[in-house]
Amino acid sequence: MDKQTVNLYFIMGTNTTGGKDPLAVLENALKGGVTCFQLREKGHGTLTGDDLKAFANSCKELCERYSVPFIVNDDIDLAIEIGADGVHIGQEDGNISEVREKVGPDMLIGVSTHNVTEAIAAADAGADYIGLGPVYETQSKDDAQPVIGLEMVSEVAALLPGLPIVGIGGISERKAGAVINAGASGVAVISAISGNENSEEAAIRMKGAVLLSLTGIEM
C-alpha cells in the first residue's frame, strides 16, 4: 500500500455531520482532496440493515468517482457484500489473520493501535496500514483511549519505517504538520472536515498542511 493513500484519511458516519447531508459532506471532502475514506457508522441513531447497505453503496460510488479507496469500519460482512476496498478493525474486532482469510488477499486491512506493542503486532500480522492514536484529546469518539502524544508516533514510525501510519485523534489543521513531522504518513480526521460548514474548503486546507509538512511545498 502506497503511503500517499493515507495522506488525508477522512472518517464519517451519518451522525457526525452536524445535521448536514452526509453524502454532500463526503462529496465535498472528496472534491477537497481526501485520499482515503472510512465509513464509521456507530452510535445513537445510526443506520442498520438495508438502510446501512444502501448508504454504504452510495458512499462507495462517490469514492469510485474520485478514485479514492473506500474502507468500512468493523463490519467485515458488509465490506465483503458491497465490495469495499478495505476494512478497518479495532483491537477487539478479531484476529487479523482470520479477517484476511474472510476478505481475501486483495482487500486492505487497517488496524487501530495505541502503543508500540499493538503496532508491531499489527504489522507482523500483515496489516496494510495502522491508525495510531489518539495523538491529542478528541471529542469524536466516546470510547477513546488515553492520549499517546507525538513521541509515540515517532517511536512507532522509527520501528516500522515501511508501514503506512495514520495519526488520529484531535488533529486540526494547525496540528496536522506536527503529526506528519513526527513520522506519520498521514492524518485521519472526523470533525475537522465533517464539522466544518464547508467540508471542501476544510479538506483543501488540511491537505495543504499535510503536503507542506511532507514535501515543504505549499499546494
Q: Which DSSP state fits 157? A: H
Paired with 12 in beta bridges are 39
Paired with 112 in beta bridges are 131
Phi, psi (5° rounding) for residue 187?
-125, 145
Q: Which of 40, 175, 205, 207 is catalytic?
A: 40
Q: Within the chain, where are the H helices?
A: 22-32, 49-65, 76-82, 96-103, 116-124, 149-159, 173-181, 191-194, 199-215
Is residue 174 annotated as a catalytic residue, yes or no? no
Phi, psi (5° rounding) for residue 111?
-135, 135
| 67 in Cβ contact with 28 (< 8 Å) | no
Q: Which of 20, 42, 100, 141 is catalytic?
A: 141
Q: Which of 112, 140, 185, 194 is catalytic?
A: 112
Compute the Cα dihedral for 160, 181, 184, 63 and give only its sign: negative
C-alpha cell at 5: 493513500
Is residue 175 annotated as a catalytic residue, yes or no? no
State CA 174 to chain mean position distance. 18
Report d(CA 94, CA 87) in Å as an integer.
12
State CA 160 to chain mean position distance. 19
Is residue 112 annotated as a catalytic residue, yes or no? yes
C-alpha cell at 74: 468493523
Which residues have a catalytic role annotated?
Answer: 40, 112, 141
